[in-house]
A and B are shown apart, each in its own frame.
Chain A
Amino acid sequence: MSDNKEQTFFTALSDAVLNMDEGTVEEIAHRVIKEKIDAYRAIENGLVDGMNRAGQLFEDEEYFIPEILLCSDAMYAGLNILNPYINREQQRTRKKVVIGVVEGDTHDIGKNLVKTLLDAAGFEVIDLGRDVQPRQIVDAAIAEHADVIALSTLMTTTMDGMAAVVQILQESGQRDAFKVIVGGGPISQTFADRIGADGYAPSAPAAVKLLHKLFKDSIYV
């Protein structure tokens, strides 16, 4: 298989993700398997590349939440097909993010977006769903040996839950075990500083950049 031909597949996957074309992603993913093209590289250079391009369009305000959701649907459709074909030695341990919308808040659009983009950026993301209590978030982060706790809210009314997560970590002497990042409409850098979070991201693409900064660009443990 020539590099050129491989690249054609990768580009087609990337384009299909960007174009929100789930059917084409699946079709190409099956052909990748059939042609015995490296599944890991197809994910990295195809699916993830497409999602990164979509994230850029979101940042540029050309794509909005509906488009990003369909791009991520397409990406996950391809991942489902390609993931079983990844070689074991390619599976390095990636940094793990536990993500949740804090208690009392079911505005999970933002969280889904952060999850998708972090996933695409190579982090391992454990989604705790919505309306999780601060204690549950901390317990899950400990049980999962997570590196990051990411909290989101779109409501001013539920910001106290975020402070509670940091407080529980401090009281149990585990604050240093995790990076805590917060985001969402009503949140600000001031708020993040006040509750003692490690960082604040105003948007989903910014959350990816923030983690890259906090970890000096390494997604691996």
Chain B
Amino acid sequence: MSDSTINRLALKKDALFPLQRLHAYAQGLPVDRLPCVPIVGNTAARVLGVTVSSLRNNGKSLADAQVASYRRFGYDNIRVFTDLYTIAEGMGARIRVPEDETAFLAEPAIESVSRISGLRPVDPWRDGVLPEHLEAIKRVVQEVGNEVPVTAALTGPFTNASFLIGAVNLSRLVLKDPASVHSLCKLSLESALAYAEAIFDAGGMPSLTDAMSSSSVISPKQFEEFSYPYLKTLVDYIHSKSRPATLHICGKTSPIWDKMADTRADCISIDNDANLLDAKKKIGHRVRLMGNVHPSAIMLQGTPQDIRREVFKCVIAAHDNPKGFVVASGCSLPTETPFENIDAMLDAVRETGYPVNAGLLEEIVNNSL
């Protein structure tokens, strides 16, 4: 049986701009649909029809691509992002930039702890590609900042530290030389604070992302020692600007959910190794949740029907999260994610509408199996 003929709810057009929707949703007022954020990164280059590398060091292109992508899909948050390495690059890491793929770390900034003293925090208005990213934020804000939140990815200090000295090195130091790990994290924190301030000055908001802090990499105890204090400082800083903080950590996170909530982050974005229903039960009364359609298995490789089903499953699990829920991909989308799949995510959320009728969604999911 085709699920699309029988079990299709009315597909409503968006009635609100993202800022209106998010504001109303936060107040518990009626909205047209749940907020939805397919985490679009370099896919924006595809929307604009340019190469991935052409965005990274060109504020105008980066802004044009992000605005074009937002207008194309109508999601609820613009995130100025090309790769995780922009701060580390400003501190001396060598980044390779393939013509049409996401940039990656070629060499960390230093090879041994003896060189830590030579590292300096970034000046975001001067170092690496950061000035162009700030330019992009300004332009995006100017164009669509009155209708949609404009954020910029801010790499967490522990993750940035791994780019400064290499992930394997840093992992060893966690046990062998904790003081050096803290030195690297402190330097990374100073950079992050400087960039966060610049993001605010450009009119945007930082959005924290901290891949290496995952429980797929370090233990909850190590998270508490090496990630938590620095993330907390960043969240406090964002709150000092009266702005909400979003924290994304990849991979497994259930052992650290409590600590993630302790940072006082307002919204926690979880990956596919984490379960929305469990997260709701554990921390849903403290934080908004965001997640977690699989970025590659579903968003990249699935069909629009797969995406509709997975979105419904997420909605069923977390629509009644006490602090709210944002339908999202578990992590940044692969560059080549088909447009129709991103459309399918938004359409599934539009179809769901608000308030959510979870029973009806469950019926649809069951019928589509």
A contact set with B: CB distance below 8 Å: 20, 61, 63-67, 69-70, 73, 104-109, 112, 131, 155-160, 185-188, 190-191, 194
Contact partner of B301 (CB less than 8 A), chosen from A66, A67, A108, A194, is A194
Q: Do residues A157 and B296 form an inter-chain contact, with CB atoms below 8 A?
A: no
Number of A-B contacts (CB under 8 A): 89
Pick out which of these stretches binds chain A: B97-105, B186-194, B316-324: B97-105
Tell whether, in the assembled complex, residue A157 and residue B102 are in contact, meaning their CB atoms are under 8 Å apart: yes
- Once A185-B216, A185-B250 are accepted as A-B contacts, the answer to whether A156 and B332 lie under 8 Å apart by CB is yes
Least distance between A208 CB and chain B CB atoms (Å)? 17
Question: What residue of chain A has the Cβ atom nearest to residue B173's Cβ?
Answer: A66
- Hey, which bits of chain B sit against chain A, CB under 8 A? 42, 96, 98, 101-102, 104-106, 167-168, 171-172, 174-176, 215-219, 222, 250-251, 255, 294-297, 300-301, 331-336
Q: Are B301 and A190 in contact (CB under 8 A)?
A: yes
Q: Is the CB of A66 within 8 A of B171?
A: yes
Complex Cα gap A104–B251 (Å): 20
> Would you call A108 and B167 a contact (CB within 8 A)?
yes
A-B contact pairs, 17 of them (CB 8 A): A66-B172, A66-B174, A66-B175, A66-B222, A70-B176, A106-B105, A107-B167, A108-B168, A109-B167, A156-B300, A156-B332, A158-B104, A159-B296, A185-B250, A188-B296, A191-B296, A191-B301
Nearest A residue (CB) for B84: A155
Q: Are A156 and B101 interface neighbours, CB within 8 A? A: no
Contact check, A186 vs B101: say whether CB atoms are below 8 A apart.
Answer: no
Q: Give the distance in Å from the alpha carbon of A69 to the alpha carbon of B170 in the complex.
A: 11
Beta-carbon contact of B175 and A106 below 8 Å? no
| Residue on B nearest A157 in the bound complex, by CB | B102
Rounded to whole Å, the gap between the CB of A99 and the closest CB of chain B is 15
List, in ascending order, chain A residues with CB within 8 A of B335's CB. 156-157
Most chain B beta-carbon neighbours within 10 Å: one of A70, A131, A156:
A156
Interface centre among A65, A104, A108 (most CB of B within 10 A): A65
Tell me the bound Cα distance from A159 to B335 in angstroms: 11
How many whole Å from B245's CB to the nearest CB in chain A?
A: 24
Would you give the shortest CB distance from A188 to chain B, in whole angstroms?
A: 4
* Complex Cα–Cα for A183 and B216 (A): 14
For residue A61, which residues in chain B have a CB less than 8 angstroms away from its CB? 215, 255
What 11 new A-B contacts, CB under 8 Å, besides A66-B174, A106-B106, A185-B251?
A: A20-B175, A64-B218, A66-B222, A69-B171, A70-B176, A104-B104, A105-B104, A106-B104, A108-B167, A159-B334, A191-B296
Say yes or no: A69-B168 contact (C-beta < 8 A), given A185-B216, A186-B296: yes
What is the distance, in angstroms, from B84's C-beta to the closest C-beta of chain A? 10
From A65, A185, A186, B218 is in contact (CB under 8 Å) with A65
B301 close to A156 (CB less than 8 A)? no
Q: How far is the CA of A162 from the CA of B96 in the complex (A)?
A: 19
- Specify the chain A residue showing the minimal Cβ separation from B250: A185
Q: How far is the CA of A156 from the CA of B216 in the complex (A)?
A: 16
Q: Chain A residue with minimal CB distance to B217?
A: A65
Distance of A55 Cα from B310 Cα, bound (Å):
33
Top 10 closest pairs, chain A to chain B, by CB: A188-B297, A156-B334, A157-B102, A66-B174, A186-B296, A64-B219, A66-B171, A109-B167, A66-B175, A106-B105
What are the residues of chain B within 8 A of A64 when measuring CB–CB?
A: 215, 217-219, 222
Contact of A156 (CB < 8 Å), options: B168, B174, B255, B333: B333
**CA of A185 to CA of B168 in the docked complex: distance in angstroms?**
17
In whole Å, how far is A5's beta carbon from the nearest beta carbon of chain B?
A: 32
Chain B residue nearest to A109 in the complex (CB): B167
Which of A106, A108, A158 has its CB near the most chain B CB atoms (within 10 A)?
A106
- List the A residue with the shortest CB-CB distance to B83: A157
What's the Cα separation between A104 and B171 when bound, in Å? 22
A156 touches B296 (CB 8 A): yes
CA distance A194 to B336 in the complex (A): 16
CA distance A64 to B105 in the complex (A): 23
**Chain A residues with CB under 8 A of B294:** 188
B162 to A, closest residue via Cβ: A109
Q: When chains A and B are docked, how far (Å) is the Cα of A107 from the Cα of B222?
A: 20
